[in-house]
Chain A
Amino acid sequence: MTSAVASTARRSDPLLVAAGIAAFVTYFGARLPLKLPGVPFPVAIARVPVLFLVLFVLAAVRMSRGLDELEQRIHLEALAFPAVLVLLLTLGPLQVAGVALSPQDGGYRHIGTFAFLFDFGGHALARRRYQ
């Protein structure tokens, strides 16, 4: 029982902060060269921010485990927002890099579907902890 009322001293996770800053910097850093004509490895450049964005989300989940139950709930609800944002920021630079998702549509039409499917994945992973 004592573990359930665990200490919730606020401590900033250095990994979370570093990943957040790195994601921000690399996202805007990647967009600049991608707009130049003939830049080598555009897809690789476009994917650099994704690494840090995923790291940021993982660090946020890890940090939330050390919080008390109400703050955990708040963080989990809040995570829905960056999860969709990661999707948008992933597709955005890829589109700038010239990777067309589908020539027939605007590219972002399926985001809602992706988010819905990812939600199933998230549920499957989360429920494993309680089975």
Chain B
Amino acid sequence: MKNRLHILRAERGWSQAELAGKLGVSRQTVNAIETGRYDPSLPLAFGIARVFGKLIEEIFEPQGLHRVQK
């Protein structure tokens, strides 16, 4: 899953460690999410959205959407 975490964090001048502290996760987790090696759980994604004051969709962009019937 693509995400804008690195950009948003840079805009605010936060280090990975600072963001990790705000989210209550390890710096490695923030790094793994930023580099796309790890997709956060839904609660953590909500936590990230809340920290940046944005919607989840404004931060994360799915690369392979699951087929959902409307």
Contact = CB atoms under 8 A, between A and B. Distances in A.
B55 to A, nearest CB: 15
Interface residues on B, range: 10 to 19
Question: Interface residues of B: mostly helix, strand, loop or mixed?
Answer: helix
A4 B41 contact: yes
A123 B29 CA distance: 25
Contacts of B29: 8, 68-71
Interface in B26-50: 26, 28-29, 32, 38, 40-41, 43-44, 46-47
B46 A68 contact: no
B20 to A, nearest CB: 8
Contacts, number: 41
A107 B64 CA distance: 48
Given A69-B40, A69-B41, A70-B32, A4 B26 contact: no
B32 A4 contact: no
Contact of A5 (B24, B28, B32, B38): B24
Interface in A45-64: none
19 contacts: A1-B43, A2-B47, A4-B41, A4-B43, A4-B44, A5-B43, A5-B44, A8-B25, A10-B26, A68-B26, A69-B29, A69-B40, A69-B41, A69-B44, A70-B25, A70-B32, A70-B38, A71-B26, A71-B29
Interface of B: 23-26, 28-29, 32, 38, 40-41, 43-44, 46-47
